[in-house]
């Protein structure tokens, strides 16, 4: 019984370390364009754990990212591959203030214009505030 407990805790610790280390492999973004690029790139590649790391963590953002994740999962493999291989085309960057930037962009895959707001956090890192993508006041 003692060996089973020790094995169980060893496996549990390994899983936790692997899970935690993958999230901390991402470097915080020090400027709005880096944060936006990391977020956009992660979304187009289906890496929604990474996209979440570069996104403001509130309920609305989390729900929007889940929706995008579900849409991505609904694509067939050919469309996923096309999206993954597409380029990010920056259409416009608007610096609203020293702490807020709007990035208008599209993926070459579908040509659909999108926008995100990127905001600086108290620690100086930048995160995408994805919920503003659908806000008509931008």
Region 76-90 average pLDDT: 95
pLDDT over 50 (residue 64): yes
Q: How confident is the model at residue 81 (pLDDT cuts 50, 70, 90)?
A: very high
pLDDT of residue 103: 97
User: Each residue of 5-51: pLDDT tens digit?
Assistant: 554 444 444 444 444 444 558 999 999 999 999 999 999 999 999 99
pLDDT of residue 33: 97
Nearest to 115 by CA among 32, 46, 9, 8: 32
What burial class does residue 25 get, using C-beta atoms within 10 Å of its C-beta: 0-12 exposed, 13-18 middle, 19+ buried? Answer: exposed
Class at the top of the CATH hierarchy for domain 29-134: alpha beta
User: Each residue of 106-129: pLDDT tens digit?
Assistant: 999 888 999 999 999 999 999 999
Side-chain half-sphere exposure of 36, counting CA atoms within 13 A: 25
pLDDT of residue 27: 95
Q: What is the largest CA-CA distance in the chain?
A: 63
pLDDT of residue 68: 94
CB-based contact 101:110 (threshold 8 Å): no
Residue 126 DSSP code: E
Domain boundaries, the chain: 29-134
């Amino acid at each position: 019984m003692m060996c089973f407990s020790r094995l169980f805790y060893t496996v549990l610790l390994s899983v936790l370390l692997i899970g935690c280390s993958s999230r901390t492999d991402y470097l915080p973004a020090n400027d709005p364009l880096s944060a936006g690029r990391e977020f956009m790139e992660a979304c187009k590649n289906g890496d929604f754990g990474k996209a979440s790391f570069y996104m403001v963590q509130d309920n609305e953002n989390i729900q929007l990212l889940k929706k995008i994740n579900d849409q991505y999962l609904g694509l067939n493999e050919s469309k996923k591959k096309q999206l993954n291989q597409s380029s990010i085309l920056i259409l416009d960057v608007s610096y609203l203030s020293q702490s807020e930037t709007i990035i208008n962009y599209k993926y070459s895959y579908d040509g659909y214009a999108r926008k995100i707001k990127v905001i600086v956090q108290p620690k100086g890192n930048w995160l995408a505030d994805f919920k503003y993508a659908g806000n008509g006041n931008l």
